[in-house]
Amino acid sequence: MKDLIAVPLAYPEINLANHLNCILYAKLGPADPREPSTAYWQAKMDKWQVTEGEARTRLCMNCAHYDNSKEIMQALPTAPGAQLKASALPVTPKWADIDGMPSAVCTRWAITCSALRTCDDWEAPWEDPDNANVLFVTPEEEDED
Ligand code: SF4
């Protein structure tokens, strides 16, 4: 397992620190993905210059940096770093815990990752030739159909 991925899984304190950096520098969120979080998504629309519908579909689960490979999935249930709860983050408002999360590791920020959140560094998986976890057709390919 690559160090960048292994470290947040092994060390809860590093996973927590990297979460805080991602929240601060890349606006990781929203605090509770089950809520409308209108202001949060408006900021993403402005950042990415996309419609609300498109912004709300740019989630960790379909980001190029979302690694839910078999190796990660096997490590998550027992990895000490993966026991970090979203609600334990020292942030305001408090983050909600989501059942079944974390479900992957973010290789950009070296954090355990919830499928339903996002950040400013979201990247389309088809722009990462090494991404074998999520396979999509590109918008251009869709237009060819
Ligand atoms: S880089 Fe991608 S996977 Fe990582 S936190 Fe941001 S949106 Fe999620």
Instruction: Determine the straight-line distance between the first and last CA of the chain, rounded to whole angstroms.
Output: 38
Residue 126 has pLDDT above 90, yes or no: no
Position 6 scores a pLDDT of 83
Higher-confidence residue: 133 or 96? 96
Ligand 1 pocket test, pick from 113, 117, 120, 126 with the greatest ligand atom count within 8 Å of Cβ, gives 113
Query: What mean pLDDT is predicted for residues 46-75?
Result: 95
Residue 112 has pLDDT above 70, yes or no: yes
What percent of the chain lies above the pLDDT cut of 90? 74
- The whole-chain average pLDDT of the chain stands at 89
Q: What is the pLDDT of residues 20-46, one digit of tens each?
A: 999 999 999 999 999 999 999 999 999
Position 43 scores a pLDDT of 98
Nearest CA to ligand 1 atom 6: 119
DSSP 3-state assignment of 15?
Answer: helix
Q: Where are the alpha helices (DSSP H) in the chain?
A: 3-10, 12-26, 38-48, 52-57, 70-75, 139-144
Assign 118 a pLDDT band (cuts: 50, 70, 90).
very high
Stated pTM of the model: 0.86
Cis amide bond preceding 139, omega within 30:
no
Position 129 scores a pLDDT of 62
Report whether residue 28 contacts ligand 1, using a CB cutoff of 6 Å: yes
